[in-house]
Amino acid sequence: MLKDKVAVITGSTSGIGEGCARALAKEGCNLVINGFGDAAEIESLRSSFESEYGVKCLYSPADMTKPDEISAMFDLTVAEYGGVDILINNAGIQYVAPIAEFPLEKWDAIIAINLTSAFHTMHHAIPLMMKRGWGRIINTASAHALVASPNKSAYVAAKHGIAGLTKTAALEVAKDNITVNAICPGYVWTPLVEKQIPDTAKTRGITEEQVINDVLLAAAATKKFTTIEQVAALAMFLCSDAAENITGSLQSIDGGWTAQ
């Protein structure tokens, strides 16, 4: 069903975005990946999608804080593929501090990358999807699109904004065979999270097991991390025909965090 579709995935050189790109490539989607990182590693990833799955894969270095570069990413997509069918907005950054101490530049960057970039990508993608008569937009939100935590004002505000943007866009394109949904993960087991555990344990003077159970998974009823593969599988379902009447939804995958 997804063979030869064209997918643009922001923040896809690692983590959840890479997992979604891989899942789409397995189904035969041609890709545009995007994100920061070592140039050689990114090229290795890009070429691996082509060699392993027999699809085309472009890399766009577009900075998600710069609308002109986002526009250029879609120009590249249209020039190579003629349009776009799937958009996954996954780019994001984080910074933790109380509001009174929160650096203004960090607020601006988080809002720009985690929220405003999704508006810009959708602004370009929706007309292209309308021309094709089909589209799937998936925004990577967070449990923090539904609940708050202290010291994460910019991230929580951006993810709550993504929830509203998702619902609004879904209503606007509901009759155009385009769905717009958000995935709201809790803590996802990624290399970045894994690397933070020893430092957190040392800083707090607790064991690594306590960091996992009493800090990271404190709100998760299952006491399990969500995996990248689980998020990617949910994204794939939202791209499927079975999900054609699911739109404007916020799909929790958080081990019961937001059920409490």
Catalytic site positions: 155
Hey, what amino acid is at 246? I
Per-residue tokens: 167: 């619902």
Cα 45–Cα 191–Cα 60 angle in degrees, nearest 5: 35
CB 108 within 8 A of CB 153: no
CA distances from 166 to 85, 111, 156, 180, 256 (A): 17, 16, 15, 6, 22
